[in-house]
Amino acid sequence: MSGNVPKAQFGLIGGSSTFSIDFPKAVEWDGLSVLVEELVVDTPFGASPQFKIFNIGEQTVISCKMHGWRSGVTRADASRQIFWVFREAGVKRVLAEGGVGAVNHLLKPRDLVVPHDYIDFSMRKDTSLGSPYLLIMREALCPEMRQALYQEMEQTTGRRIFDRGVYVVTDGRHFESPAEVNMFKISGGDIVGQSLCPEVYLAREIGACYARIDMVVNYAEGVVEDWEHRELKDIFYNESMTIARILLSTICKLPTEAECGCSELRKPTLLKEVDSE
């Protein structure tokens, strides 16, 4: 199975912000060349979503759309499929993007956030590839890649950006109730979404760095004002190029070899039988 997976240094997981465009082809970028399209790999967790392999600058990237979510496949299995393929490709750095709701009332729609921590309220915590590791989530989101994303946004976007934020993870697919959102706020959450977990666990399991950029697409229920479907639609279709360019430019500027120490936060499991004398 692994013989079908080309090698790539970077993994890129597209979310709602780039779903409406043919990424990366739709982005006019000198030196970008798509090598493989519609790559589907047979994994132990089922057939993978479609991947694209492309070169940009000196980097080779393997990417998929909308977190691999699709009809007939559980979100847990979709995540397993993606990261199994990433592991076979030799991916060492994973970037992701998505749309989130504002739990912190100071955030506004179209703000950009690079989360630094998370609270997992989902039911997918046991999702893994079966590797025998103890995963230390002390600094779950790579500080080196977070800084690179923020610096790129600072130089290019001209909008409100935040280099910190606590991402609250829920299962979806529905939005949360006002009472749930209030609980998230009391717990210290800033934004709410559905994709950071289990991706952050699986990235650590394969020894890869993980970071992401999230666009605020609405106020969470009970925060500031009721969100409008019209504005959500406008953001969904008209902000894709902003996020796409940030991701591609960040990949071009990041070195392949990391100096962040993320790989040291994966240790051999202690849950094993003791040899008898």
User: What average pLDDT does range 30-50 have in this prediction?
Assistant: 95
* Predicted local confidence at residue 76, as pLDDT: 94
Q: Where are the beta strands (DSSP E) in 103-172?
A: 112-113, 117-120, 133-135, 161-162, 166-169
* Predicted local confidence at residue 34, as pLDDT: 95
Show the domains of the chain with their CATH numbers: 2-256 (3.40.50.1580)
pLDDT in tens, 107-137: 999 999 999 999 999 987 778 999 999 999 9
131: Cβ–Cβ under 8 A, 6 or more apart, which residues?
A: 205, 206
What is the distance between the alpha carbons of residues 198 and 137, in angstroms, rounded to a whole number?
A: 12
Please compute Rg for the chain using Cα positions: 18
Percent of residues, the chain, with pLDDT higher than 90: 81
What is the distance between the alpha carbons of residues 73 and 78, in angstroms, rounded to a whole number?
A: 6
3-state secondary structure of 237: helix
Q: Look up tokens 């039911």; give the residue.
A: 123
Q: In this model, does residue 102 exceed pLDDT 60?
A: yes
Q: In this model, does residue 101 exceed pLDDT 60?
A: yes
3-state secondary structure of 41: coil
Q: In this model, does residue 277 exceed pLDDT 50?
A: no
* Predicted local confidence at residue 270, as pLDDT: 81
* Predicted local confidence at residue 163, as pLDDT: 97
Q: In this model, does residue 17 exceed pLDDT 90?
A: no
* Predicted local confidence at residue 235, as pLDDT: 81
Q: In this model, does residue 275 exceed pLDDT 80?
A: no
Q: In this model, does residue 200 exceed pLDDT 70?
A: yes
Could you give the C-alpha distances from 209 to 11, 62, 135, 266, in angstroms and in order? 10, 15, 13, 11
pLDDT in tens, 205-264: 999 999 999 999 999 999 999 888 888 788 878 889 999 999 999 999 998 788 899 999
What is the distance between the alpha carbons of residues 142 and 139, in angstroms, rounded to a whole number?
A: 7
pTM of the model: 0.93
Is 219 exposed, middle or buried, given 0-12, 13-18 or 19+ CB atoms closer than 10 A?
buried
What is the distance between the alpha carbons of residues 93 and 206, in angstroms, rounded to a whole number?
A: 10
pLDDT tier, 272 (very low <50, low <70, confident <90, very high otherwise)? low
Q: Tokens standing for 79?
A: 């995540």
176-181 contacts at long range (C-beta below 8 A, 24 or more positions apart)? 176/101, 176/220, 176/221, 177/221, 178/221, 178/222, 179/222, 180/221, 181/101, 181/103, 181/220, 181/221, 181/222, 181/223
Q: What is the H or E stretch that residue 192 is in?
A: strand 191-193
Q: Tokens standing for 129?
A: 């590839």
Q: Give the CB-side neighbour count of residue 203, counting CA atoms within 13 A.
A: 26
pLDDT tier, 141 (very low <50, low <70, confident <90, very high otherwise)? very high
Q: In this model, does residue 170 exceed pLDDT 70?
A: yes
What is the distance between the alpha carbons of residues 190 and 167, in angstroms, rounded to a whole number?
A: 6
Q: In this model, does residue 269 exceed pLDDT 90?
A: no
* Predicted local confidence at residue 151, as pLDDT: 96
Q: Look up tokens 């060492």; give the residue.
A: 92
Instruction: Identify any residues that bridge with 52 across adjacent strands, giving them in sequence order.
Output: 63
3-state secondary structure of 218: strand
Decide the pairing of beta strands 209-219 and 112-113: antiparallel
